[in-house]
Structure 1
């Protein structure tokens, strides 16, 4: 994992720079920016491709997991913030690592917004779900993540962190000048949505963690998919 950390950090830095540009772009060029950030998310994959042959079935696996995470938003469209996306990204990163988790999270956000609608919020969602996968992958070998309670707490915490990151975009997009009162109001008003996301992460992780993880682990070991060098 260590040798892939530097490319991941480069991709993360590009993401942060791209998000900073949204303050200037606002409603303009957001789709182009999303595609640029998607390319940044794929940087670790390109590095792996250079260092060893990346099998087509590994690409298919990443595409399938990204599609599953994206499609999982649709049945819950009527329930704001209640989505299994974060849980799927966490479990995928837990099995296949930070590199895969980052890519799956970012791609899932972009693809799912084909249904939910693209907008200047898309790059922020790509970053947020990518960070969920990135941190889950980095922590996957810790005693914390290997315990069921630790994983559930991780999902709960990221339910709030996701919302807090998205609040930054919301505050930037407002026409009013920034003030701490405005920021406080934004975070207070999003509390129930963030709580719903956090609780849904716990719910879906509790349901999916056992069977989902075992299936993915079996695929990884049997076919040698996305093995860390």
Structure 2
């Protein structure tokens, strides 16, 4: 797939929007519309563009909110889950997409918690202590996904 100016502009604009959304919701614990946006972008723009939007968003927000080894863990975890999403989600109805994106959002939190725990040699402790926040993240993604998906559907039809 050729990287045209239109495609680069779309990736840049959606990345900037995602950074803005992340900034707007920073005060709420793990309530982030960007997760839904990443998964929807994979569905409508493809895995490569969705991955680029996610990686740019995580990197830029890392410079704004603090950059460290967790950024690489976030990009890796999202990348793996987005690849899995790209294989399964296109064949699902909206209801099943919402169910899957909720599960993947929760799994994203568990993967991150475990990777943080590995840095401090206490993976399971981090996973257990993060379950409530991972649940917040999954529920917020469940709520944001239909809204963001309907916007993408109308704009990119």
CA contact (8 A) 2:21 2:34 kept: yes
Check the 8 A contact 2:46/2:86 in 1, yes or no: yes
Decide whether the 8 Å contact of 1:62 with 1:100 is kept in 2.
Answer: yes
CA pair 212-108 structure 1, distance change in 2 beyond 3 A: same
- Is residue 214 from structure 1 mapped to residue 154 from structure 2 by the alignment? yes
In structure 2, stretches of 5+ residues that fail to align are none
Task: Identify which of 96, 101, 124 aligns with 2:50.
Answer: 101
CA distance in 1, matches of 2:111, 2:118: 11
User: How many residues are paired up?
Assistant: 157
Deviating 4+ runs (over 4 angstroms): none
Instruction: Indicate yes or no: 2:87 matched with 1:119.
Output: no
Whether the 8 Å CA contact 1:89–1:104 is kept in 2: the answer is yes
Cα deviation, residue 140, structure 1: 4.0
Counterpart Cα distance in 2 of 1:111 and 1:133: 19
2:110 to 164, 169, 177: 164
Q: CA RMSD in A?
A: 1.7
Q: Which of the residues 63, 83, 88 maps onto 1:134?
A: 83
Q: Distance in 2 between matches of 1:79 and 1:132?
A: 23
The structure with the largest alpha-carbon Rg is 1
- The verdict on how the C-alpha distance between 1:136 and 1:101 changes in structure 2, with shifts beyond 3 A counting, is farther
Structure 2 Cα separation of the partners of residues 62 and 138 of structure 1: 21
TM-score when normalising by structure 2: 0.90
Residue 185 of structure 1 corresponds to 125
